[in-house]
Amino acid sequence: MSINRLVEIGKSALFTTQQAISVAGHNIANVNTPGYSRQVVSLAENRPENGSPGQIGTGVHAESIRRSFESFVEEQLLASRERLGEFTASSNALSRLEPLFGDANNLGIGSGLNEFFGALQDVATNPNDLSARTVFLSKATALAGRFNQAAADLTAAQGFLDRQVGQTITDVNRLTSQIANLNADIARAESTGQQANDLRDERGVALADLGELIEISSIEDSTGQLTVFAGRGHVLVDKERTYQLVAVPNLSNNGLLDVHYDAGAGPATSLSPVIQSGRLKGLLDVRDQTIPSLQASLDTLASEVVTQVNQQHRLGFGLDGSTNLDFFASAGTTASSIAVSLVNVRQIAASSTAAGVPGNSANALALAGLRNTDFASFGNVTFQEYYSTIAGNFGSIAQGVDGNLRAQAILHDQLTSRRASISGVSMDEELANLLQYQRSFEAASRMIVVADEMFQTILSIKRFLWSVRSTK
């Protein structure tokens, strides 16, 4: 073996171990980088040269730098992110509605109904007591106010979620543009024989973030570029081209935003009905199903309270002999519009007859008796029981979502741990690799030093022989 060949072998070992050290350092530097996949250097022998008595090795080279990656686990993680995004959005949205049912703090409609009928019972006990009548009118106004506040809170929550839908659509379009740009970068890099490991990791993070927002699927072509679909096969990214989602006000839904798909030709089509998971799914479910259902239930309760109280109140007589008066404004039959129409406490019709004013309290007792009356419009339950059903149904929905969120979070943590075991960086392993490559680098350096010493020895021998030949 010539000395030059020995130097070349040492040089190949130096360059290769230097690459390996760089990869190990890159892994260590990205130990906490989200979505990073550990990179591994594959070493291979250089092609040997023919010699005597046999082939002679020519050193080593880095054959590839590949990602530690398992597509099945990544697909499971993406599906988990979609469901986690849905349940998280639903849970956060529902938590904004929990103050509506603040009866534990005597702030809800249920406690307002109790106070209303309790004050009405005091009027029945002392029909000529103006202070009791004043308290009752105050409690009635407070009850109407609680209905009004609940309706306003529901409308505000719906508006907040609608803005979140619009922002999420913007985020989807931003991520699809990012994925398309990374598609181009990856194809350009890998067309020259490179392995775009870091670009693929970056695209994987963007894809996972997109999956958290909307249900997606994807396929990769031979150039390494992804085609990403949303809903039922609607293309969001086709290699380097993107298709936008558009927020379109739905006039039949109070102007709330629908998610539309813009294919670039013809009218945009609605995606809202076919979105099955992701943040958008959670937002749309609460905005378009849970809140309207609560609004309808509260409107039904308010309408029945107004109808039943007014109907009975018109049959009675006030202290001033007035009769046939509505207690609540007859036009206010929704939670947002319910209001007390009486302002004069003497006009509260506690008596059943003008002759009995003020001592007769039969009508006040009849009004108070509405508290325990079953109404067919509620399914033969009382005001309080119907309200409890509303609160109970909401609580059941919230508990179900929270349970799903906890279960999905546990599953996601398990999948994340599995990915970490495959793609994550082990500091102990990387430090061990660094030590191994460092020793290889030192050995290769020593090899070149030895080759240089051999070369110097040969030069010294040549100079000696030349000097001996010159003296002759």
Note the pLDDT tens digit of each residue in 299-357: 999 999 999 999 999 999 999 889 999 999 999 999 999 999 999 999 999 998 887 66
Together in a domain, 161 and 39 = no
Indicate whether 20 and 135 sit together in one domain.
Answer: no
pLDDT band at residue 34 using 50, 70 and 90 as cut-offs = very high
Looking at residue 262, its pLDDT comes to 83
Q: What is the pTM of this model?
A: 0.87
Count structural domains, the chain: 2
382 and 454: one domain?
no
Res. 21 pLDDT band, cuts 50 70 90: very high
Q: Would residue 419 count as lying in a domain?
A: no
pLDDT tens for 210-232 read: 999 999 999 999 999 999 999 77
Residues 43 and 181 in one domain: no
387 close to 113: Cβ distance less than 8 angstroms: yes
Contacts 24+ apart (CB under 8 A), 306-314: 306/330, 306/332, 306/333, 306/338, 307/333, 308/370, 308/373, 308/375, 309/367, 309/370, 312/363, 312/366, 312/367, 312/370, 313/348, 313/349, 313/363, 313/367, 314/349
438-458 per-position pLDDT tens digit? 999 999 888 888 888 888 888
- With a cut of 80, say whether residue 54 has pLDDT above it: no
Residues 6+ away with beta carbon under 8 Å from 135? 119, 122
**420 assigned to some structural domain:** no
Partners of 40 in the β-ladder: 66
Q: Is residue 421 part of a domain?
A: no
Per residue in 195-214, pLDDT (tens digit) is 899 999 999 999 999 999 99
Same domain, 175 and 295: yes
Residue 179 is predicted with a pLDDT of 97
Question: pLDDT-derived band of residue 266, with 50, 70 and 90 as boundaries?
Answer: low
Structure tokens at 60: 């080593």
Across residues 62-81, what is the average pLDDT?
92
User: How confident is the model over 115-125, as pLDDT tens digits?
Assistant: 999 999 999 99
Domain boundary among 380, 414, 448: 414
309 and 410 assigned to the same domain? yes
Q: Are both 435 and 369 inside the same structural domain?
A: no
Residues 40, 162 within the same domain = no
Could you tell me if 109 and 58 lie in one domain? no
What number of other Cβ atoms are within 10 A of residue 223's Cβ? 12
| Domain final residue pick, 383, 414, 445 | 414
Paired residues of 248 in beta bridges:
258
CA-CA distance, 192 to 209, in Å (whole number)? 29
- Are residues 400 and 255 located together in one domain of the fold? yes
- Of the pLDDT bands very low, low, confident and very high (cuts 50, 70, 90), residue 1 is low
- What would the mean pLDDT of 273-296 be, rounded to a whole number? 94
Rounded average pLDDT over 372-377: 92
Specify the range with the lowest mean pLDDT, choosing from 55-64, 95-104, 300-309. Answer: 95-104
pLDDT higher than 70, residue 104: no
What does the pLDDT look like over 167-200, one tens digit per residue?
A: 999 999 999 999 999 999 999 999 888 889 999 9
Say which residue, 301 or 270, is predicted with more confidence: 301
| Position 3 pLDDT exceeds 70 | yes
What pLDDT score was predicted for residue 214?
95
Pairwise CA distance, residues 73 & 234, whole Å: 24
Show the domain range for 42: 3-68+426-471
- The predicted pLDDT at position 273 comes to 84
Question: Domain ends where: 367, 394, 414?
Answer: 414
Q: What is the mean pLDDT of the chain?
A: 91
Do 409 and 295 fall within a single domain? yes
Q: Are residues 123 and 82 in the same domain?
A: yes
Query: How does residue 258 score in pLDDT terms, banded at 50, 70 and 90?
Result: very high
Q: Is the model more confident about 423 or about 262?
A: 423
Taking CA atoms, 122 is separated from 293, 310, 318, 372, in Å, by 35, 19, 16, 16
Assess if residue 315 is contained within a domain. Answer: yes
Query: Is the predicted pLDDT of residue 268 greater than 80, yes or no?
Result: no
pLDDT of residue 167: 97
Q: How confident is the model at residue 8 (pLDDT cuts 50, 70, 90)?
A: confident
